[in-house]
Amino acid sequence: MERESPAEEALVLLRSRLCNPNFIFSALSDFPDSNYSKLKFIVSSSVTEGCNNSVLLLGPRGCGKIAVLELVVDSLLKDYPDMISVIKLNGLLHSEDNCAIKEISRQLCLEHQLLFSKMASFDDNSQFMISMLRECGLAHKTIIFVLEEFDLFAQGKQRLLYSLLDAMQSVTSQAVVVGVSCRLDADQLLEKRVRSRFSHRKLLFLPPSKEDLQRLLEHILLLPTDSSLPPDYVSEFNAKLLDILAKDRFKQIIDVLSNSDSTFNHLLRFLFSAVCFVDLRTGFLSLENFKAALATIQRAPKLDYLKDCSVLELYILVCMKRLEVKEQESYNFNSVMKEYKSIKDSFPTSDYHSRTVCLRAFEHLLERELISFMDSRGNNQSIEFRPVRLLISSQELYQGLKAYRSCPVILQKLIEREG
């Protein structure tokens, strides 16, 4: 079998890294003030000191809450293999109290090789959970309850959270509840009786700083010197990469990327795309690869829709944008037609169509969802009189007009003037 070229082997290594959350977040786990270190201290203290704890991991989706939690759990399972049991619930699946307590019982039975009864009631399963917490506490075994989408468990009567946190008040129990939520006010959703039993520890996951970002990029993209890759290739690859990372143009690309979405997931998708653009003949990352990846990541479907619009539909969109600039809070098809006529009177062109043709183009824009009605009221009202709004930004409209090959010059001038 033919051996892979160094370039192919390097790309396989980089892709495997980008798909491995444990490798990615291990770069940020060595610092004492990192969320990894704080969470590991909280959970490990429960294991070693036999106490109960509860903590919330809060932050936007894609910022690494679950990845850091799994990194902590994996590390503790290696350090204390026979002293930890992990129970995982998700609010999207188990927000109903009876379903959640049944799932806890099922996982506890599976973990300890016991027979699970599907017919058990909520009270039976609650008693079983309390008994298991007591038995595990006496055996110096900690149960970690991971509640993803924690805010969904805080809806309704919160019987599960109360039963779980109340059972942890016993001196014989030994457990940790880790709630994960994208809602920063998740703890405020708790009832008073539940909140009084919660320890109010919160870890906030923020977008990476510039220093963390630089460290992360080097950690992911630099090739290891002790691998099977040729040393000369590794040395040249790393030197070129560090040169790219130091360039102002690359920093501008990262700034543009972060301005739209600063989460780890977005960054990893961008890097994966850049790696996929590498030319196998050279085998090195280039600035053009990152530019192409940014263009792919920032692709706007609405710009594709604009390419298929007729010139008349572009006129209607520009008219609506002009009405918004004039701070006209509510407008309909009739208002748009008045604006269209004013453009025609000010700039005589051949691009003027009848009201019927304009109405058909207006309906086509509604179907493409480039515009929409302000509300669902007035369904029985004629389309011409229903208030509408624009669903495309000024920047997107400007870019779409520039990319449109047969776009009238007057439209570009109008949108530039309004911008």
- Tell me: the pLDDT tens digits for 353-389? 888 999 999 999 998 888 888 876 666 778 888 888 8
Alpha helices (runs of H) in 19-121, residue ranges in sequence order? 21-26, 35-49, 65-79, 91-94, 97-111
Question: What was the pLDDT predicted at 379?
Answer: 67
Q: Are 177 and 168 within 8 A, CB to CB?
A: yes
For residue 131, report the phi and psi dihedrals to the nearest 5 degrees.
-65, -40
Q: What is the pLDDT of residues 47-96, one digit of tens each?
A: 888 888 999 999 998 888 999 999 999 999 999 888 899 999 999 998 88
Q: Which two tokens stand for residue 129?
A: 């959970």
Residue 394: strand pairing partners: none
Residue 87: strand pairing partners: 145
Q: Are 267 and 217 within 8 A, CB to CB?
A: no
Q: What is the pLDDT of residues 302-318, one digit of tens each?
A: 777 788 888 888 888 98
Query: Which ranges of the chain have pLDDT less than 50?
Result: 1
How many C-beta neighbours within 10 Å does residue 384 have?
Answer: 14
Widest Cα–Cα separation across the chain: 89
Q: Which two tokens stand for residue 316?
A: 């209607």
Compute the C-alpha angle 203/204/208, nearest 5°: 125
Those residues whose C-beta lies under 8 Å from the C-beta of residue 318, and which sit 6 or more positions away, are 343, 397, 401, 411, 414, 415
For residue 207, report the phi and psi dihedrals to the nearest 5 degrees.
-60, 150
Question: What was the pLDDT predicted at 1?
Answer: 43
Compute the C-alpha angle 358/361/366, nearest 5°: 125
Alpha helices (runs of H) in 204-310, residue ranges in sequence order? 210-221, 231-246, 248-260, 264-276, 287-297, 301-307
- In a 3-state reduction of DSSP, which class is residue 68? helix
Q: Are 333 and 348 within 8 A, CB to CB?
A: no
Q: Structure pTM?
A: 0.72
- Smallest CA-to-CA distance from 365 within 318, 328, 406 is with 318
- Smallest CA-to-CA distance from 8 within 280, 322, 198, 200 is with 280
Q: Which amino acid is at 1?
A: M
Alpha helices (runs of H) in 80-120, residue ranges in sequence order? 91-94, 97-111
